[in-house]
Structures are given as C-alpha cells and as structure tokens.
Amino acid sequence: MDTDRIIAWLDKVQARDVRKDDGYGIRSAKQIAQAVGLDKSTCRELLTQLAADGRVLRCDHINGVFWRSMNPLPWEVGGEAWKRQQYEAEVATHPKTLIIQAVWFDGRDTILRDVESYPEAHRGRAEASVQHKNWETERRRRDEICGSGRVRWPTYRLVELRPYQSSEAA
C-alpha cells in the first residue's frame, strides 16, 4: 500500500540522516513522491491524511511544508539520547558506593587517595576507569624507565563501600 511505503521510506531516511548528521529526515512532498513512485498531488494528499491520522509529522516552515517520520529524533522526548539522559539523572540520585583509590608505596608507608566515586549501577564504568588508569600508569612507568626520571606513579583500585551494621543489632 502507498501509505506504508511512504512511512517506511520516511523512517529509513530519518535513520540515515541522523546517522550521517544532516537533515534529520525532513523531506518535501516532491522528494517523497519521487522516492516512492507517486505523482506529487497524490502524495501530498496521502501525506495530509497520514498527518491527520498521526502517522507522519507535518513541519510548516517559512519556505514550505515538509514531512518527516513520527519517530522521535535522539534528543527529542522519547529519543535515545533523551532516554539515556533520564537514566543518568535517575542514577545520579543513588548513593555512590564504589570508590576508585590511587595507591602509592613510599618506603614502608602506603598512601591512599580517593580519586572518583560511582553509584553501584555504574560498576562496569568504574571497572573500566580503573583498568584505563592502571594502563596509563604502566605506560608512564615504561616512559620513565626509558628516560632517567624517578617518579613514583600510583596504582588504582576499586573499593566498594558496604552499609554499616552495628554489632548490637546481631
């Protein structure tokens, strides 16, 4: 059916334009008609009907009327980036129970410093950060060995905070 072809083509164009970051799937009735294989007036009538049914979005601009898919763009409400932003905002309210610590060994003393903290929901992100920081430290150590520096670089570790349980409760 013609309406299904129009909707499918607008969905495909929007996905391609978002990926390429140009245009975001907005097309004129003439462009849609050429791509779907209809004459322009028939296509415009179908697009008007589809917009009235809520299946495509009509965009009135100064230079004409354009059409696009009903799928939300990534930054619009319901889009991928919007959902990710909502998730990050919700997770930011959780307590930060994962701490990344820098550890230096200075003779007999061990020096600890808290570097970053993450909520439990971001455990994978925290573990990746520790791996990356340790990789950077190892790279710096190798560079220092090649040079003549005597700088001590820290090692990083992930520490998990547990809720306090008093011994009287047991």
Quick one: which of 64, 25, 65 has its CA closest to 48? 65
Based on C-alpha coordinates, what's the Rg of the chain?
28
> Which strand (E) or helix (H) includes residue 17?
helix 2-20
pLDDT at 167: 65
Sheet holding 155-160, edge to edge: 109-119, 96-106, 155-160
Cα 10 from Cα 50, distance rounded (Å): 12
| CATH dotted code for 2-81 | 1.10.10.10
Which comes out higher in pLDDT, residue 88 or 131? 131
Residue with tokens 């799937």: 25
Distance from the first to the final alpha carbon of the chain = 70
Residues of the chain within CATH 1.10.10.10 domain(s) are 2-81
pTM recorded for the entire structure: 0.57
pLDDT in tens, 64-87: 888 888 888 888 888 888 899 998
